[in-house]
A and B are shown apart, each in its own frame.
Chain A
Amino acid sequence: MLRIEYVYWLCAALLAACALHDLRARRFAAAAFWGILAAIFLGGDAVAEAAAQANALPAQCVGIGVIVLALIAGSGALRRVPEAADPAAAARRHESAARLGHQLFVPALLIPFGTLALSLAQPYTPWAPADRGQFTLIALGIACLAAMLAALWLTRSSPRQAVVETSRLLDALSWAALLPMLLAMLGAVFAATGVGEAIAHVVAAAIPTQSPTACLLAFAFGMVAFTVIMGNAFAAFPVMMAGIGLPLLIGEHHAHAAALGALGMLTGYCGTLLTPMAANYNVVPAALLELRDPNGVIRAQWPSALALLAVNFAMLWFFAMP
């Protein structure tokens, strides 16, 4: 039986290899950063198990580790001097591209299509967990491993070279790689400390509740604003729905529930396109694509986001309200 932890252990091994590589290159801050993260991935399962048995100590250690990671990131010590453009390396890349041709696409495409093939095979695999989301991650893990082996074979590289290349990309991503996890953590802290309730309370107290227009505006813009703050429409939806959607729009003004739910969520997605808090969609890609402006992706998508916001609001207005 395949377990999702194996995928996390694979991540831990990769992180540990990169930490060692950074250590040997005397980049101590980066070595500590990826090393701590590797330890958290390796012990994550044990932490969750201990927490389930009311032993909070391992989780508290992870909590301290997270704070240390943030301090290393905030110290600016992770910055790695990018290697100067090497004309010999560029010539070698062009030569290798001409020699290998379309074969270069094979390992790259093996990741998406391998994941797809394994996902489709899920009903016929007795060793697979029933949970679909977990299975997709396992499928992605297997596909990545297969693609790496294919790339090693195709390029006749050593596993050491794979670590060197991974370390180069990882240090280019730097703390941005961690941001999605940190934001998920922040969302949970906000939920546990009642931030969402306080916001819904303030908004509901501030609008004239007898006006359907005012309620709909507050709901739509509340979805956008709260998604911008939390970086996640899933976090905004229950809060705005419980604060405004259910009691006012459905309860008092008899809105159409299915349309309100679907279009409300999509209105929140417009907010996701606008915020650096949605790190895995907006900040990580800017780092991956080595854009000079960390908000470059948001700059590219805000016109689409506002246009879609207008479309969603018009649909809410015409179809969700009686």
Chain B
Amino acid sequence: MAPTVSIVRYHTPMNYWPLLGVAVVVFGFAVRANPALVVVIAGVVSGLLAGLPIPDLLALIGNKFVASRNLLVLLLTLPTIGLLERAGLREHAQAFIARMRTFTLARLLIAYLALRQALSMLGLTGIAGHPQTVRPLLAPMAEAAAEKIDADLNAADRDRVKAMCAATDNIGLFFGEDVFIAFGAVLLIQGFYAQNGINLDPRSISLWALPTALAAFAIQSLRALRLQRRLRGKRNSHAAH
């Protein structure tokens, strides 16, 4: 069975100029220009260098922007979170964790990681996330757990703890979802192979995602424990002075 390459259509001659769009992105991020502006300029540069007429390019930008509206639905969580924060949600989450002696920083992060990965493996990816669970719940709880270690946590360590919450959510999501057979990535892989004459059972693909899922859990758990150990070490060196 000779696989046929159908997705990539090699133009003759190959036009390499649109690659400058990639260079715009790299340069723009390197000089810390506004990312929104950099991304739009990169799209325009790439389109013009590929010889797209300006009306077609504008229509392409407009159509694709409209087609990705689903990415902004997280906006709808903001009124609830804003109202609850004004009513003391973060303060309550912090007080709750401060009272619970069994909830150390590492245990909190590892428990969240396990939950997030397990839910993703069942295909329930949308029920947690940065706006829904990390900002209102996980981050203030982790901050409170870190304050139990060191009552005067400095701003840099506070940011490090919050960033670790976001990282834990990402890793739980990414390395859980591929184990779910109806997830887009598995269907994308299966669909790509099917187009090229290789027929696979989605289960055989998602099975191969399981070892990496376990490795991700182990690695991120170890890093949560290391963060906790570092904060404890810092506290002890304060105390020694």
Contact = CB atoms under 8 A, between A and B. Distances in A.
Contacts of A281: 130, 170
Give 10 nearest A-B pairs by CB, closest first.
A165-B82, A97-B88, A74-B37, A62-B62, A63-B58, A193-B50, A262-B208, A59-B62, A184-B68, A70-B40
A189 B61 contact: yes
A269 B171 CA distance: 9
Nearest to A301: B167
Interface string A266-279: 10010011001101
Given A47-B66, A67-B40, A184-B68, A193 B47 contact: yes
A129 B36 CA distance: 33
Contacts of B18: 190, 193-195, 198
Contacts, number: 450
A161 B80 CA distance: 11
A267 B111 CA distance: 25
22 contacts: A63-B65, A97-B89, A104-B84, A107-B84, A110-B80, A119-B124, A145-B76, A186-B42, A189-B21, A192-B52, A192-B60, A195-B19, A234-B184, A258-B204, A265-B178, A273-B167, A281-B130, A285-B170, A288-B130, A289-B139, A292-B155, A304-B216
B205 A40 contact: no
Contacts of B200: 257-258, 261
Interface stretch (A22-30, A169-177, A216-224): A169-177
Interface of B: 2-3, 5-11, 14-16, 18-19, 21-22, 25-26, 29, 33-37, 39-44, 46-47, 49-50, 52, 55-73, 75-93, 95-96, 124, 126-128, 130-137, 139, 155, 159-160, 162-167, 169-171, 174-175, 178, 182, 184-186, 188-190, 192-193, 196, 198, 200, 204-209, 211-212, 215-216, 219-220, 223
A308 B8 contact: no
Interface string A289-317: 10111001101110110011001100100
Nearest to A188: B64
B174 A293 contact: no
Contacts of B88: 92-98, 100, 104
